Structure 1
Amino acid sequence: MAKYRKIDVRIWIDAKFLALSTEAKLCFMMLLTHPDLTALGAMRTNLRALADDLNWTDETLSKAFGELLANGMIRYDEKSRLAFLPNFVRFNAPENQKVIMGWSKALDLLPECGLKFEVIKMAGDHIFASACNPGVLREYQERFAIPFGIPLPNQEQEQEPKQKQKPEPEPEDNPFQGKKAAEQNFVHENEGSAGPAAAGNADANRDDDGWDSIGPSTGAI
């Protein structure tokens, strides 16, 4: 097991940690620095053993441990006796591929149960969120993601169905557009062929005051 662990000093200003009882704080710090804790932040233990480590009664340990469970600071499978600190890898991210290789040995020390799968999955979530170097990500994928069938964050995004864009409707043919253009051409052709005679007829229909005999245009036609 690793002899050294990283502990964020901001834990002493964290609201969740400060809200714990003194016994729960000590229990959490003991778990965080426990010599049996693996590099994945998990270990095989039971409440009786933890009570002995702290020289506490079972009742005192059970109460403090219950606070940690209620606040999501630890997960525990009582049947398999697997304890897990879900945020451990977040603050102890692997620095190189050798650390990931060491995770394989650490995983072998954990009992088989559903929580064991969560241990390795959450470790992967943390290293992807921390944007580790490509070598670390590739090592995790080859050793854990593929064998355990763990979907990687980028794969989950690719599997999301793409929204199909609706094709833009083609412009409908306007049946009146061609008719209107034909009428305009007809008018221009008649105006050109009428010549002086048409102009003379127009003058004949005009009154002395300049108005057409049928009155001014209203624009209705």
Structure 2
Amino acid sequence: MANFRSIHTKMWSDRHFEALSPYAKLIFAYLLTNPHRTPSGLYQITTRRIGVETSMNNGEVEGGLAELIKAELVLYCDDTATVFIINAVKYLQNTKQMRLSIVKDVLYNNSPLSEKLLIKHNIRSWAEWGDDEELALAQREAEGLEEDG
């Protein structure tokens, strides 16, 4: 995982973000910057881990996550302890390495939220992601996972 993450300063003036409680704002900033985060914004993290690393109790974490979900900033799957930061990819550079990283996040994350990431970023059209061998392999693996699911 990256040791450095940048955050767009316009986050603070976003109308969805402005309306959040201090707990939800802290959780969102944490989800964007913690060492467990992946480039795609799809990764496993328990609510307990969020609480430990932000010094919040379980009720504060669950309330903050509920606000973030309602504001359509994140999705969270309790069954797999997986978070998806909905617009995490929006400000990333569109490089081959980044695209492969996102594809791998989807392929190796056993969560219903993986499908949400594919839909959100229109990753159904693999052709726009390139046609080299690595991306072709990722496509075949993803199509195989869809048939199984």
TM-score w.r.t. the length of structure 1 is 0.55
| Counterpart-to-counterpart distance in 2, 1:145 and 1:104 | 8
Question: If you compute each CA radius of gyration, which structure gives the higher value, 1 or 2?
Answer: 1
Which residue identity is paired with 2:84?
F
Aligned partner of residue 130 in structure 2, secondary structure: helix
Corresponding position: 1:106 with 2:92:
no
Change (3 A) 1:144 1:51: same
Equivalent in the alignment of 2:136: 142
TM-score using structure 2 length: 0.78
Q: Which has the higher contact order (CA 8 A, sep 6+)?
A: 2
Which amino acid is the alignment partner of residue 148 of structure 1? A
Consecutive unaligned residues in structure 2, runs of 5 or more: 144-149
- Once residues 96 and 79 of structure 2 are traced to their aligned partners in structure 1, the CA distance between those partners, rounded to angstroms, is 33
Q: Which contiguous aligned blocks of 4+ residues in structure 1 show a shift greater than 6 angstroms?
A: none
Partners in 1 of 2:18 and 2:34 — Cα distance? 21
- 8 A Cα contact 1:5 1:92, kept in partner: no
C-alpha spacing 1:16/1:73, structure 2 compared with 1 (3 Å): same
CA distance in 2, matches of 1:148, 1:108: 6
Report the CA distance shift for 1:58/1:88 in structure 2 as closer, same or farther (over 3 A).
same
Cα shift at 1:98: 2.1
Query: Equivalent residue for 1:198?
Result: none
Question: CA separation in 2, counterparts of 1:53 and 1:24?
Answer: 14
CA apart distance, 1:83? 0.6
Measure how far apart 1:71 and its partner are: 0.8
Give the fraction of aligned pairs with identical amino acids, expressed as a percent.
21
Q: 1:121 and 1:13 mapped to 2: Cα distance?
A: 27
8 Å CA contact 1:40–1:89 kept in 2: the answer is yes
Compared CA separation, residues 3 and 124, structure 1 to 2 (3 A): farther
CA contact (8 A) 1:7 1:91 kept: no
The size of the alignment, in residue pairs, is: 139
Aligned to 1:117: 115
For 1:75 and 1:61, how far apart are their aligned partners in 2?
A: 14
Structure 2 residue 82 is the aligned partner of structure 1 residue 82: yes
Distance in 1, matches of 2:22 and 2:91, equals 23
